[in-house]
Amino acid sequence: MSQRLTINQNNKPIYDIVYENDFSQLSDELEKFDILNKKLCIITDSKVNGLYSDDVCNVLKDKCKQVVVFSFPDGEKSKNLDTVKNIYEFLIQNKFERKDMLLALGGGVVGDITGFVAATYLRGVDFVQIPTTLLAQVDSSVGGKTGVDFDQYKNMVGAFYMPKLVYMNLAVLRSLDDRQYYAGMAEVMKYGLIKNATFYEWIIDHMYEIHDRDLETLEEMVVKSCTFKKLVVEKDPTEKGERAILNFGHTIGHAVEKAMNFELLHGECVALGSVAAAYISWKKNLLSMDEYYEIRDMFVPFNLPISIDNIDPEEILSLTASDKKMEGNQIKFILLKKVGKAIIDSTVTQEEILEGIKEIYFSEEDEHE
């Protein structure tokens, strides 16, 4: 059974998210946008191109004026203005006009780049998200944040720009490699931790189905995750307030990601950052000790790290200071009051953050103790 969510702004529907088990309904969904008279450009990465571009082209080729594919090398290293420039050139060569449409077929990297190109090419063309990683399905394809990295700065250049549609084919999650899949689980668990204890328990109860990537379980998990993201982004579309709670685990997580030179996946760093944030929550008497250890240990069966050995805690601390979620000089830190309830705290001190980082730091000395 296919499900559907609608993202609204100021009580007006902005776009739908549809959940399917294949690409077959994509043409029906896009016909609503009069694609018969439009050119479509599928923007994808080298890996997803080999897996799914043909399927998507076949569904669309007789339903639109023309469909072309632009593919760039997969990975975060492509998420920059050079790729954006190459796409602009490709669109100009193919005479793409204002009324034509871009389709982002891939993970968060493809979605973020395509959204940014869509926001800026000819001052804005329509685009559709077809997210293919768990992270992109539960997080990056929903909410309208687009952008690219600039020099060493992540997501430094970008725009808020909404897609016309988000089309999720849950079956594609079955071709993700394990590491990517479980990295996405960190964001899924985050929703439970910050928003809904019942969902958190549901995740634990469905651990085996999640490991098996059972399609019905995946659908329920992704739809629920998107529902939480929807609630938060509808209330606060441009991150002025409550949307910040989505950054749970991300202040320290981003710092670890940077210090490790992006060798760890984002979701893996979010798991580490979540452990540190839960630890700080315990130390500030928001969580009990038992709650902290339960939260920490629950990442393990989902193949996510809870400690790391090759970091320098002081370096991580100084990297948290460059986090964008700063207000003046004070980091807006997201803590847990309990499972299912996050709070924004601007009183977390440098010492407390360092303690949190040390908690996830597993030094060789610890090992020999």
Ligand X SMILES: NC(=O)c1ccc[n+]([C@@H]2O[C@H](COP(=O)([O-])OP(=O)(O)OC[C@H]3O[C@@H](n4cnc5c(N)ncnc54)[C@H](O)[C@@H]3O)[C@@H](O)[C@H]2O)c1
What is the per-residue binding string for ligand X in 277-316, x denoting contact by CB under 6 A? ----------------------------------------
Taking the least distance from each CB to ligand X, the nearer of 108 and 305 is 108
Q: Would you count residue 48 as binding ligand X (CB under 6 A)?
A: yes
Choose one: 69-77, 276-284, 321-329, 343-351; the region binding ligand X (CB under 6 A): 69-77
Binders of ligand X: how many residues, by CB under 6 A? 28
Q: For residue 308, give every residue at least 6 positions away whose Cβ sits within 8 Å of its Cβ, in sequence order, or none.
A: 256, 260, 264, 272, 360, 361, 362
Query: Interface with ligand X includes 266 (CB under 6 A)?
Result: yes
Task: Quickly tell me which residue has 């807006």 as its tokens.
Answer: 332
Please tell me whether residue 256 binds ligand X under the rule CB under 6 A: no
Complex with ligand X: residue 108 or 192, whichever CB lies closer: 108
Instruction: Name the one residue in this structure whose structure tokens are 């019942």.
Output: 198
Confirm if 166 and 17 have CB atoms less than 8 A apart: yes
Q: Which stretch binds ligand X (CB under 6 A): 171-179, 196-204, 288-296, 328-336?
A: 171-179
197-205 helix and 178-195 helix, angle to the nearest 10 degrees: 150
Closest CA to 286 of 200, 204, 347: 347
Q: How far apart are CA 78 and CA 44, in angstroms?
A: 11
The helix (H) or strand (E) run that includes residue 306 is none
Report if residue 148 touches ligand X, rule: CB under 6 A.
no
**Binding of residue 39 to ligand X (CB under 6 A):** no
Check residue 157 for interaction with ligand X (CB under 6 A): no
Q: Does 273 bind ligand X (CB under 6 A)?
A: no
Using CB positions, name the residue nearest to ligand X.
108
**Binding of ligand X by 175 (CB under 6 A):** yes
Task: Give the span between the Cα atoms of 188 and 196, in whole angstroms.
Answer: 11
Does residue number 139 form part of the binding site for ligand X (CB under 6 A)?
yes
**Applying CB under 6 A, which of residues 29, 100, 112, 257 lies at the interface with ligand X?**
112
Give the N- to C-terminal CA distance of the chain in Å, as an integer. Answer: 54
Cα–Cα dist 243/234, whole Å = 9
Beta-carbon-side half-sphere exposure of residue 318 (alpha carbons within 13 Å): 5
- Site residues, ligand X (CB under 6 A): 45, 47-48, 51, 74-76, 79, 106-110, 112, 132-133, 135-136, 139-140, 143, 145, 155, 172, 175-176, 180, 266
